[in-house]
Amino acid sequence: MSHIGIDVGGTKCHGVRVDQNGVILEEVRYPTPPVAELISLLGSMFEELGASSTLGIGVPGLITADGIVKASPNMPGAYNVPVGPALREQFGISVHVENDATMAAYAEWQVGAARGARNAVMVTLGTGIGGGIVMGGELHRGANGFAGEIGHMVVQRDGIDCVCGRRGCWERYASGSALRTLSGGMSGEEVFAAAATGDAHALSVVHEFADWVAVGLASLTNICDPEVIVIGGGVVQSFATVMDEVQTSFVAALYSAEWRAHPRLAVADLGERAGAIGSALIAGRA
């Protein structure tokens, strides 16, 4: 029995067919099209990946339980897009659509770095910051399926403008694109490479970035009390270089650090494939 999952990213759509254990059997990638062509691309990717009675799709933003994309701030014009209903009608199969970071969290929880935990938070640091929450051995979706939008928790009132239309959101300070802002125009890779050579400017950027990441992780710990926080997303390839600093700042930012168990900070196991794997598994097991 195999399952198909597709992760809709800001720049590419990544589709996989996996077995019951999340092992990838087939994989395809296409550039993310304009929103008007999204549903037809998803349909043709499903056909290309072969027969399956289920399809899971992870999309950034606010997704209803029925699979309608209500709003996706990084995808221009994506409001009320009926991804789930349209594909269900086209193929007559079960289609499960959820927030992309929730899908990634599910994969890391089932077959990755948070395996075995009953309480976990997944944080994806990419263009923005996504989140998925496991509470008491279940995915936490909230009343409308909109829970886990941790990138848009405000860490600085009247701070930097955010794509969501508000200001001071955490993802403006602690994501991959935030590294560009903090460094004055360098990419995350450039910042980490320069820091590795001892460049003073890059080191101070990395230090500030680690502090911003840690502040958010400490707030998430106050809210969720997780056993483990899994850190994934595009920034994570270079994350080993900042993990020690994040860990130190995180402990310093924790509420009553000396009186509590500290959540383990873990780098994601599944890398950029987590969203697609989680989409496939969640649809197959629903």
Strand 54-59 to strand 62-63: parallel, antiparallel, or no bridges (unpaired)?
unpaired
What is residue 279's DSSP assignment?
A: H
Residue pair 238/189 in contact (Cβ under 8 Å)? The answer is yes
**Residue 196 has which token pair?**
């590795």
127 binds Zn ion (CB under 5 A): no
For residues 87 and 162, which CB has a smaller minimum distance to Zn ion in the complex?
162
If one asks whether residue 130 binds Zn ion (CB under 5 A), the answer comes out as no
Backbone angles phi, psi at 189, to 5 degrees: -60, -45
Neighbours of 170 (CB within 10 A): 28
To the nearest whole angstrom, how small is the minimum distance from the Cβ of residue 168 to Zn ion?
Answer: 8
Instruction: Tell me how far, at minimum, the Cβ of 192 lies from Zn ion, in Å.
Output: 25
Which residue type does 70 have? K
Burial class (CB in 10 A: 0-12, 13-18, 19+), 149: buried
Residues 163-182: x where in contact with Zn ion by CB under 5 A, - otherwise, as a string:
-x-x--x-------------
Query: Looking at beta carbons only, is 169 or 277 nearer to Zn ion?
Result: 169
Structure tokens at 114: 């948070």
Q: In this chain, which of 72, 152, 174, 213 binds Zn ion, going by CB under 5 A? A: 152
Q: Which of 57, 79, 48, 87 is nearest to 278 (CA)?
A: 57
Q: Does 62 bind Zn ion (CB under 5 A)?
A: no
Rank residues 3 and 152 by Cβ distance to Zn ion and give the closer one. Answer: 152
Please tell me whether residue 162 binds Zn ion under the rule CB under 5 A.
Answer: yes
Of 30-38, 147-155, 195-203, 273-281, the segment contacting Zn ion by CB under 5 A is 147-155
Binding-site residue total for Zn ion (CB under 5 A)?
5
Considering only the stretches 154-162, 203-211, 228-236, 275-283, report the one whose residues sit in contact with Zn ion under the rule CB under 5 A. 154-162
Residues in touch with Zn ion (CB under 5 A): 152, 162, 164, 166, 169
